[in-house]
Amino acid sequence: MDYAEKCAEHLVNLNDKMIDDFCERAVAYYKFMFEELGHFEDIYEDIVDDIKNTVPEDVSGRDILKYISYPNLFVFPPKGDGIGYNVGVRCVWEPEHGLDLIIRDDKVLYVGEPMGLGAWSSDEEYEVTY
């Protein structure tokens, strides 16, 4: 099996802990973006209205998955023996850039705005403020 197929198989077989970790971080990112966009509601009125009409304000846990769509798997050459990849998805609270999920081995490294990071970036680069 080539490396890209291994990444795809890994993605479709994520364990519950990784899925829950992703969902928790996606909810945090949603809440962060909703608050940030709210400061500019006069500019982003359409986006804020879409969010209010689509995602419940108290969304939590795996319910966030209902509002994420069109996953795209991005595989880059591995560094070392591990497995790592990015998954880009669409979400209503970040319609222009979407949401990035970065996984290395059995760890969710990053969930948030696409920043051009990959699974082999340094750990410090995955830090977020939300």
Residue extents of the structural domains in the chain? 3-126
- Given a cut of 80, whether residue 1 has pLDDT beyond it is no
Q: 27: helix, coil or strand?
A: helix
Q: Could you read off the pLDDT of 53-112 as tens digits, one per residue? A: 999 989 999 999 999 999 999 998 898 889 999 999 999 999 999 999 999 999 999 999
Alpha-carbon distances, residue 110 vs 8, 29, 90 (angstroms): 18, 11, 16
